[in-house]
Amino acid sequence: MLARVFSAALYGVEAFEVDVEVDVAAGNPAIVIVGLPDAAVKESRDRVITAINNSGYRWPRARATVNLAPAAVKKEGPSFDLPIALCMVITGEDVKLPRLDQYAFVGELALTGALRPVKGVLSIALWARRAKKKALFVPAANAREAAIVEGIDIYGVNSLRETFEFLRGERALEPVKQDLDAYFQAERNYDVDFADVKGQLDVKRAIEVAVAGGHNILLIGPPGSGKSMLAKRIPSVIPPMSLEEAIETTKVHSICGLLDPAHFFVALRPFRSPHHTTSDVGLLGGSSNPSPGEVSIAHNGVLFLDELPEFKRSTLEVLRQPIEDGKVTISRAAGTMTFPSEFMLVGAMNPCPCGFFGDLKRSCRCGANAVQKYRQRISGPLLDRIDIHIEVCSVEYKDIASRAPGESSAAIAGRVAEARKIQQARFRGHGKTNCNARMTPKLQKAFCQLDDDGARLLKMAMMELDFTARAYDRILRVARTVADLDGCENITSVHVGEAVQFRSLDRNWWG
Ligand SMILES: Nc1ncnc2c1ncn2[C@@H]1O[C@H](COP(=O)(O)OP(=O)(O)OP(=O)(O)O)[C@@H](O)[C@H]1O
Ligand SMILES: [Mg+2]
Ligand SMILES: [Zn+2]
């Protein structure tokens, strides 16, 4: 006797169909799982049998072969428990369930027969809709997440018994309905705001320019100057995520198991701050059980690398691909897979090993060599991808003591949104480029023409302030953004002048 149930597995952030078939033949009671199962899938066998017993059903006490097709792709994790168990019960109880092929099932079984949540349900629900399934059955704790997808019935089920009773027509279940728009709107408030930051007007301005043009930024300042505080507030001035962006980010968080029934949808831009001891796999993703890394969890948000020089040089090197391409490719024995990784990179560092180089109140204890060595730990190619450097000085007493709130995130976000609109219009029809930071050399030539005064100032700055050559293009791009914030078509010397200040690490006097 044969039973067949549809399920799905993950590859990267997408799900694909897996047919779970159980064939029962005469022989000693045994279950064999074939079709490239990993260890967690193999363990399914014991969970499934105990869960069926504890649910009060019969399973075929004969030789059962469980086949997961397509056989060529590795199947991982415990999410096939439910479909396997259903096949076993169908054959054991010898029932016919007519509409079974219109449904798909995922879920991990506890020994009691209760269902536990699984990872990646949003991607699976998107697959189920593409596959034109009428309904998807998921563990109750995953139901709201799956129900983000409209146009397919999502049933949140608590146990094997509940599922089987529904399939036999012995129990009524209602598909999960929710007002996603209302949830999305309600969740779109950050709990931090730039109004909390006293003073630091120049740093806030640099952040505004960075976000407006999609530029990565590096904050350089002594301990306690507020670098972390400022960085955490950056997502609150980026234009709000669209529903599509939110779904793309939620897919990644779902695969990482970061969601729960109360927070089943990522409506806010993520802020990720991996420690400098995080492994390359933790940062980029990978390992034997494919899971996205921090660069992908930060997708559509901010990746904050605090104490940038403390990161291994090799680690900073591997960040180049995700920064450049907005995606990360992971090679494994089973093939390569891709995860999205479009984030704004925000770095922070002390100006020197002791932290107080250039500080007005405390003196630096580091020798010139030590300072230079410290800065050189950040590789040139990485620095090339960070358009804006800004020094963050300790906040002044009069600012800290002031009761006046700083400018709010909403006000900054308003100006950012205007500048982004200008860029969208500018780059329409220019492929992947959607902001000034992503201009190709050709686009830069077309859109970053300086007037005479601007050109003169830039030439002077390059020579007199002793800039390295790499600074030139960065200054042009940033000047474009400053002009956009100003609502100016032409880049003038005022815009160039401001952009020049944002390249402190490229000035050779730094060491
Ligand atoms: N401009 C500011 N307005 C209000 N509070 C501030 C400001 N700057 C710093 N603070 C206060 O100082 C604390 C320390 O700041 P923060 O941790 O952001 O500094 P940091 O530059 O990241 O230091 P470190 O180098 O040690 O990581 C903040 O939590 C905040 O309470
Ligand atoms: Mg900090
Ligand atoms: Zn020092």
Ligand 1 proximity of 192 Cβ (cutoff 6 Å): no
End-to-end CA separation in angstroms for the chain = 77
Mutate which of 194, 203, 228 to test ligand 1's pocket (most atoms within 8 Å of Cβ)?
228
Tokens of 373: 């060595």
Ligand 1 proximity of 229 Cβ (cutoff 6 Å): yes
Kindly list the averaged pLDDT for each block of 10 residues, start to end, along the chain of length 511: 92 92 88 81 86 92 89 83 95 88 96 96 97 97 95 97 95 93 87 92 96 96 94 96 94 93 92 94 79 95 95 87 90 81 96 87 87 84 88 80 84 96 92 88 90 90 79 91 94 93 69 41
Fold (CATH) for 439-511: Helicase, Ruva Protein; domain 3 (1.10.8)
Ligand 1 atom with the smallest distance to the CA of 392 is 21
Pairing of strands 285-286, 63-69: unpaired
Rounded to whole angstroms, the Cα distance separating 88 from 23 reads: 9
User: 2-178 is classed in which CATH architecture?
Assistant: 2-Layer Sandwich (3.30)
The Cα-based distances of 76 to 110, 120, 282 in angstroms read: 17, 12, 19
**How far, in Å, is the centroid of ligand 3 from the Cα of 488?**
41
Ligand 1 proximity of 232 Cβ (cutoff 6 Å): no
Q: What is the DSSP letter of 83?
A: H
Q: Give the orientation angle of helix 121-130 with respect to helix 243-255, to 10 degrees.
A: 120
Rounded to whole angstroms, the Cα distance separating 449 from 452 reads: 10
48-86 CB burial, b ≥16 within 10 A, e <16: bbebbebbebebbebebbbbbeeeebbbbbbbbbbbbbb
The yes or no reply on domain 194-417 and CATH 3.40.50.10240 is no
The Cα-based distances of 431 to 99, 106, 389, 441, 448 in angstroms read: 45, 38, 28, 14, 18
**Cβ-Cβ contacts under 8 Å for 257 (sequence gap 6 or more):** 119
Ligand 1 proximity of 406 Cβ (cutoff 6 Å): no
Which residue has the least CA distance to atom 15 on ligand 1?
A: 226
Ligand 1 proximity of 198 Cβ (cutoff 6 Å): yes
Res 485: pLDDT: 97
Per the listing, tokens 């660069």 go with 295
Ligand 1 proximity of 199 Cβ (cutoff 6 Å): yes
Res 186: pLDDT: 86
**Cβ-Cβ contacts under 8 Å for 165 (sequence gap 6 or more):** 171
**How far, in Å, is the centroid of ligand 2 from the Cα of 230?**
9
For the chain, domain boundaries: 2-178, 194-417, 439-511
Res 287: pLDDT: 66
Ligand 1 atom with the smallest distance to the CA of 197 is 3
194-417 and 439-511 in the same fold: no
Could you tell me the pTM of the whole model? 0.92
Tokens of 483: 């002009």
Contact 435/427 with Cβ under 8 angstroms?
A: yes
Res 511: pLDDT: 41
